[in-house]
Every structure is written in C-alpha cells, then in structure tokens.
Chain A
Amino acid sequence: DVKVTQSSRYLVKRTGEKVFLECVQDMDHENMFWYRQDPGLGLRLIYFSYDVKMKEKGDIPEGYSVSREKKERFSLILESASTNQTSMYLCASSSVAGGIYEQYFGPGTRLTVT
C-alpha cells in the first residue's frame, strides 16, 4: 500500500513565522503535490514536483515555496505565515507507471495561524 506521511497533524503558528510542512512517501513515486483544502472550495493545488529539485506552480502559489531535495520528500514552506493561510494542507504523490493522475494523499496537516 502507498503510504504518504505528513510531519504534523495539527500545528499552531503565529503571524509572521516561517513554517515548514514535511511530506514523505515510501513508494518511489516521481510526482508529489501540495494542496490546501478549505470548506466549500474543494482542494486547490499550491505546488507540484515531477522530479527531484524540480517544482512547478499550481493555482495558488502566492505566499508559499517548496523544496524537493530527495525523491521521497516534498516540503512546503510558508515564508511568513498569515491568518489567511489557516487551512488544511494535504500532500499527495503519484507514479508515472501507476497512473500519473491517481494521486494518493497523506492524512493532512491542520494549520492555524494566530
């Protein structure tokens, strides 16, 4: 079974702090994604990566950056957290061989910025 883990289930940070969200997958997937989920808006893509050291902007990249130094790990960085970044953050991965669009999700990190 594909396993995608996220470093924290719940996180509370102050406005202006730099925040790191970590995601690790154990299935050697090439592709990794970061989404945020807000009620009534579904999932919105922040950034994705098709390979190590490679990144592409999604639909809402402003205020975020990412890092992929190893194939299994994809980090989301909030450079200076703001209250409007309070949300559920979901990491996902997929493989080219297994159906590139069949994404498997982690349990999510619920981030509150006060």
Chain B
Amino acid sequence: GQQLNQSPQSMFIQEGEDVSMNCTSSSIFNTWLWYKQDPGEGPVLLIALYKAGELTSNGRLTAQFGITRKDSFLNISASIPSDVGIYFCAGRMEYGNKLVFGAGTILRVKS
C-alpha cells in the first residue's frame, strides 16, 4: 500500500536543541497525525491535524498540516532526554478510509 516518505530516518541531537521532521507524499491527505513510540510500547498520539495550513501545539511539540495537503511537519523545541523514541506520521488520503504510516524517525538525544 501507499507509504508516506518520512525524513530524516534518524537523528542524534544535543539536549536543548530543536528538532524538525517531516512527511511527504505525492497524494493529497485530509488528516495528518503524529505519534511517538517508546521502546517496547505502542505508539501514543501526539497531535491530530484536520485542515490545510493548520498549526497545532502540544507542549514543546508543534505540528503543521502543509498548505499543499501533501505534507506535514513536526517540530520539537528544546529537546530533553525523554524525547527519545520513534516518531511516526500517519495520514488519511483524500478518498481513503484508512491511515497510512510513515516508516518513522528515530530520535536520540545526547545529554
């Protein structure tokens, strides 16, 4: 099935740095979701976006629904060690009834 292109695949950053990651597709999406997965656990929903151009924050996390409806971005400000994990984007295509998932961005933080 359709898979989103998520980048970067992994990041190794210094504590306190800001982090950016994104998901892109050649298809138009109506919904974007961002999840975080800790080792050995299931994904936890962070942010849901429903309108093109929408910008939503959840604490130090900010996500945006791209204006073209083909991409989405997640930013984490002032990273801390507990931000470590895998971040997944997920989206629902314009005429779809299921979510498709990106392959994930592995985030590692140096303290």
Contacting residues, chain B, for A42 (C-beta < 8 A): 3-4, 6, 88, 101-104
Complex CA distance for A99 and B92, rounded to whole angstroms: 12
Question: DSSP majority for the A interface?
Answer: loop
23 contacts between A and B (CB under 8 A): A4-B42, A40-B103, A42-B6, A42-B88, A42-B103, A42-B104, A43-B90, A44-B1, A45-B98, A48-B98, A58-B98, A99-B48, A101-B33, A101-B48, A101-B92, A102-B33, A103-B33, A103-B45, A103-B99, A105-B43, A108-B40, A108-B41, A108-B42
The interface centre, meaning the residue of A43, A59, A105, A107 with most chain B CB atoms within 10 A of its CB, is A43
Interface residue from A9, A41, A101 paired with B103 (Cβ < 8 Å) = A41
Closest B residue to A9 by beta carbon equals B40
Q: Does chain A have a CB within 8 A of B7? A: no
Please classify how large the interface on chain B is, using the bins under 10, 10 to 19, 20 to 34, 35 or more.
Answer: 20 to 34
Q: Does chain A have a CB within 8 A of B62? A: no
Q: Which residues of B contact A (CB under 8 A)?
A: 1, 3-4, 6, 31, 33, 35, 40-45, 48, 88, 90, 92, 98-99, 101-104
Contact A101 B99 (CB under 8 A): yes
Contacting residues, chain B, for A90 (C-beta < 8 A): 42-43
Task: Give min CB distance, A50 to chain B, whole Å.
Answer: 9
Contact A43 B44 (CB under 8 A): no
What 5 A-B pairs come out closest when comparing CB atoms? A105-B42, A59-B1, A42-B101, A43-B101, A42-B103
Q: A42-B102, A43-B88 are in contact. Are A106 and B3 (CB under 8 A)?
A: no
